[in-house]
Amino acid sequence: MVHYIRFLQPPRWKSDKTRRTPLLTCLLTVTTDLGDDFYPGEVTIRATLVPKTNPHAVEEVKWKPGCRCVRVNMELNASKCSWPARLAFTVNDFPFVNPLGHQNLPEFVNAWTAPFTFDDDPDPRMVRRFTLPTGDVLNIYEENGDSIARHIWWAKVRYCRALQILELGSGCGTVGIGVAQSNAHCSVWVTDEPDAMQTLIHNVKHSSPMPCSKLNTKPLDWNCGDTELLALLDSIGGNVDLIIVSECIYNPDSIPALVNTLRRIVDKNTTGRLPEEIPSIYMATKVRHPSEAVFFDLMAEAGFNIAERLTTDMPDALRKANDLPLEKVDIYNFIRSDGTMKGA
């Protein structure tokens, strides 16, 4: 299982008359994607001040079984540090930047701050940093609130590969941004409901697409009418070649609207196209509730078949050591019954 370092209280400067050197303090937790469970083992959380690429100051705290949070206090001599700097929070000897790729599944997702100076508190949002297969670094800002739509989920990170896509339920934008930063001559549209767009737009604004690649945002409410959906499709150039959905079926109440939106997009991209040109749908998820099975039932009723399924075990050293079954991430390729599978 993948666990995430998260800020319960973001890093803040604290000073008083009894302290000679300023103190940077924050409250952390190590939890699952839904935030409903905490890491059950013992690890060392290391906070490192990173001016540019050279670690300067390090503080370590122990996370022990039964922990729900830990406080990190770091005393810093500002005159000996290079500014602006970042704070990187890592587990044990894991690398600062989580690598992405089929053979690189981190058990812990690190947390960073945005660059900050001695005169200002860091941005309260976390930053997730991933090394793409191209060697580029993907920076994704993530909010600290309770809204799970504004957090990174592992199936999204797992899915960064070369595709031209329209992404539904983009959240922080991990998949779409990762694709645009990994592929030249690629057009990527990332979408989400209107009230979830602020962080998505911020991450797109600070992304670095490869040459001749385009990365754009559009608000999309799955309950919108046909006229609004058609206007969105027209604004992105009409035809959609591939649709990506990841970590979007955890709420069974929204599944009917999602399936209906997928059906309508494919319907509007079927007329005048050869069967092999009909858009494929790739959906990535980690099953959390039995109620999520309704997605597959509704997809079948809408005429979509599962053409391919890829399953990956999630890393969990404690489960493996105790011979317990590992949780899995599944990636499905859906095609219309009147179409043929398009390669990934």
Write out the DSSP string of 139-179: EEEE--SS-GGGS--HHHHHT-SS---EEES-TT-HHHHHH
pLDDT of residue 133: 63
Angle (deg, nearest 10), helices 255-268 and 226-235: 60
pLDDT of residue 343: 36
Is 0.85 surpassed by the pTM of this model? no
pLDDT of residue 342: 39
Mean pLDDT in consecutive groups of 10 residues from the start of the chain, 344 residues: 89 72 89 89 92 70 95 83 87 79 71 87 86 78 69 63 77 91 84 94 93 89 94 82 92 96 92 77 92 96 94 91 92 78 37
Q: Cα(146)–Cα(88) distance, rounded to whole angstroms?
A: 22
pLDDT of residue 162: 43
pLDDT of residue 300: 96
pLDDT of residue 311: 94
pLDDT of residue 186: 78
Paired with 219 in beta bridges are: 192
Q: Cα(110)–Cα(137) distance, rounded to whole angstroms?
A: 14
pLDDT of residue 16: 61
For residue 204, which of 174, 243, 161 has the smallest C-alpha distance?
174
Q: Is residue 235 classed as helix, strand or coil in its secondary structure?
A: helix
Angle (deg, nearest 10), helices 174-182 and 197-205: 20
pLDDT of residue 22: 80
pLDDT of residue 131: 82
Which residue carries 């013992």 as its tokens? Answer: 42
pLDDT of residue 56: 63
Q: Are the beta carbons of 210 and 181 closer than 8 angstroms? A: yes
pLDDT of residue 80: 75
Burial of 100 (0-12, 13-18, 19+ CB in 10 A): buried
Burial of 135 (0-12, 13-18, 19+ CB in 10 A): exposed
